[in-house]
Amino acid sequence: MTKNILLIDDEKYFNKNLATNLREEGYNVTSAFTGEEGLVYAKESPAEITIIDLKLPDMDGIELLKKIKKINPSTTSILITAHGYVQAAVSAMRHGAYDFIEKPFPTDKLKLVIKNALNTADLKKTVGVTTKLVSSQYGFDSLIGSSKPIQDVIELLKKLSQSDTKMVLITGDTGTGKGLATKVLHYNGLRAEKPLIEMNCAAIPENLLESELFGYEAGAFTDARKARSGILEDADKGTILLDEIGDMTLNLQAKLIKVIEERSFRRLGGKKDISVDVQIVAATNRDLKEEVKEGNFREDLYHRLNVISFEMPSLRSRKEDIVELTDHFIGYFNFELKKKVSIVPVEMRRTFQSYDWPGNIRELRSTIERAMILSDGNELNTKYIQIETNDEDIKIENRDSKMNLEISLEDASLDKIEETIIKECLELNNWNQTKTAKMLGINRQILRYRMKKMGLLN
């Protein structure tokens, strides 16, 4: 597709000659000789590239650049300037100019700058589209639930995303969604188009953790044949999630303090400080106050981390969200696994509500995923639900060819046991009465009689 270039320069011979050269490269060039004329063309036919002379007869080039940016924010501006105005051109770059070229210059130099500018613009568009797609995946509504605990977290994240918070501490049990909360904060915040890099402090040995975090220079240690950047550099202008920070060693904690305080660090084997601008999110399932008391965590680091902090609520503290979460995961896995599950047995929902979910949302998700993979038809089969509960309510658990019933002693009547067994057999056979009767060793008429007595027939 032909790219449009708007060339604004009052030197007519230079302007026309340059325009001819650029047209030979396949660009569609519009020439303007004053600032006002350039503004008219900018409104009529927005250009991908705008080339502006810094000194125009009716307008300052920087002033013109600002006005054109308001008209067409997506245009990439390149300044051209005579000798002696370089400092002013550098100042213009702070106002959004892509680059500047000092007159006189070879046309090939400008062509190269234009080519690089267009490549950069295309890359920004790609990043922007990708960011929008990811942001839609990690919107505030990705934190499922209408209970007060999770709604309080959502409201806090909305406030934090509007400001450039440098340090956030997220606590909570394993599986509560600390990583998800970090993604929501990042992709809805001011750093959304910059990197988000996650590092699990508990999963990497100390020596590797340090090099992954800070990077290293060539020769810093054996096998360090060439320099390598760490995630602090790679995440510059973006966000770092330090997951399970409670497992970080005291030695590395001391080095992290400098990063937080000074926003600078040195690579392993390095001799100069490297400055970075990163948002640091620390997450842990440990009680850091207790870790400080026991000498396992530095108190000064704890206070620096604890500027903005919140706890992700456990699933047992918001059981009213279980129904919504269950339906959400069923919908998700229907899409992922090409299934058509739409029915969740009442017994299963009752069991979900009575269970404490020590693994929290992660456990609920895994439980549903397993059942979805193994279930046939449009119903989630209780046979494939593997959880245990000490609740006094009846709980049905199927394992291979066995059926285990847990019944409260206060309700251990034969009628109740019979009803439970019949219901479970019906569930296992997708309510096919012929198959259920065969499984129970009775004929279909007797089964229907008992189902009617129990209110199981429409």
Same domain, 331 and 267: no
- Cα distance between residue 400 and residue 50, in whole Å: 71
CA distance 376 to 430: 9
Flag whether 81 is in a domain.
yes
Is 140 domain-assigned? no
Q: Are residues 104 and 159 in the same domain?
A: no
Distance (Å, whole) CA 190 – CA 194: 9
Task: Tell me the residue range of the domain where 327 lies.
Answer: 317-453
CATH code of the domain containing 82: 3.40.50.2300
Name the stretches of the chain with pLDDT < 50. Answer: 129-131, 391-395, 399-400
Residue 362, classified by CB atoms within 10 Å of its CB into exposed (0-12), middle (13-18) or buried (19+), is middle
Of 297, 277, 279, which Cα lies nearest the Cα of 288? 297
Residues 305, 346, single domain; the answer is no
Domain boundary among 311, 330, 345: 311
Residue 283 CB coordination number (10 Å): 24
Domain presence at residue 242: yes
Residue 31 pLDDT: 93
Cross-strand partners of 241: 198, 281
Q: Which of 26, 65, 72, 70 is nearest to 47 (CA)?
A: 72
Per-residue pLDDT at 171: 96
Q: Is residue 138 part of a domain?
A: no
Establish if 137 belongs to a structural domain. no
Please tell me whether residues 104 and 208 are part of one structural domain. Answer: no
Regarding whether 119 and 23 lie in a shared domain, the answer is: yes
Q: How far apart are CA 285 and CA 273, in angstroms?
A: 32
Same domain, 283 and 161: yes
Tell me, what CATH number does 306's domain have? 3.40.50.300
Kindly state whether residues 175 and 302 are assigned to the same domain: yes
CA atoms lying within 13 Å on the CB side of residue 442:
14
| Number of domains into which the chain is organized | 3
Q: Which residue has the tokens 């080519």?
A: 115
Same domain, residue pair 71 and 166: no
Residue 14 lies in a domain: yes
What is the chain's percent helix, strand, coil content, to nearest 5?
50, 15, 35
Burial of 37 (0-12, 13-18, 19+ CB in 10 A): middle
Q: Let me know: does 145 contact 318? Beta carbons within 8 Å.
A: yes
* pLDDT of 403: 64
Residue-wise pLDDT tens digits, 155-178? 999 999 998 889 999 999 999 999
Residues 156 and 285 in one domain: yes
In this structure, are 292 and 342 located in the same domain?
A: no
Other residues' Cβ atoms within 10 Å of the Cβ of residue 163? 10
Same-domain status, 266 and 300: yes
Show which of 311, 335, 363 is a domain's final residue: 311
The answer to whether position 139 is within a domain reads no
Residue 208 covered by a domain: yes
80 and 224 share one domain = no
Q: Which two tokens stand for residue 158?
A: 């909305």
Last residue of a domain, which of 311, 346, 363?
311
